[in-house]
Structure 1
Amino acid sequence: MMRSVLRVSPEVWDKLDTPYKLKQYELNTIKELCDILQPFEDSFESMEAFQLAATLDSCYKLDWCHDYNNEVQDIRDLLTVKYNMAHSVDPTTTDISPAEPPSMKRNKFFALANRSSTPRPTPSETEVSLYLNQPCLQEDGDPLGYWKAK
């Protein structure tokens, strides 16, 4: 928020009808604070827990994210991995399904003909994309209500 104050041009400041106008030394102090706090923000935003929490907040999703160094794709990948972990088979249960019959040998031509030239997205990638492509909730929306409805 402080950086957004610094982005306002002096002409706009002059046009604002407010009882108090920021002086140049105050703007300089805000800039210094932004410079001091930037490493902390970078460190915090690189934490996996923050990335998951912020992205899973349906009011913001990836709005907080800057796309340097493919950060958006990295977060998509993180969500996909966590989705897969959450939907993995419980190791305490055993699979008691009958053994699959051996596959019949098919002509190699049909195997090549059925192969897709572009890889299909996995169910987890599809689910993550569906979530991220939906519009964000309003800021006064209920993110917990959103997830309870899912």
Structure 2
Amino acid sequence: MEVTYLASAQSADQRLKEARKAIEASNAIYADLANKNDGSILTRYTDDACLFPPNAAPVCGKENMARFFKDGPKVHTRFIIQHLYGDGQTFVTEESYYEMTDMKGNKIDDGKVVVIWKKTKDGWKMHRDMFSSNHPSK
């Protein structure tokens, strides 16, 4: 029985490592896609995804999310994964910090992110995306 449990735990660890690699790659290009203003950022999300932005109602569905991202600020965003939970097979939850700078490299914000990632036929996609600044709203 121990051998079965150990093998199962090791394979779950491997799946989480693979999921983390895919999520890190997706996070690395996220801001670049947002800066294009052509809706290409939506390729990072499931078809039935929802955003949970700070100080606003949830934004669900590709059409509404496209409106949310359209004409957004041009920024560089870096995500630093703190924890990744889940089975690495169907869903994982990411806890991250973000750092945001303007296009000249001046820091404009930092905060936290919780994303539920869903494994799809096209790979890992964001299914629920909640984020907020570490600073009071202005």
TM range (shorter): under 0.3
Higher RCO (CA-CA < 8 Å; seq separation 6+): 1
TM-score by length of 2: 0.27
Larger Rg: 1
- Bigger proportion of residues as strand: 2
TM-score by length of 1: 0.26
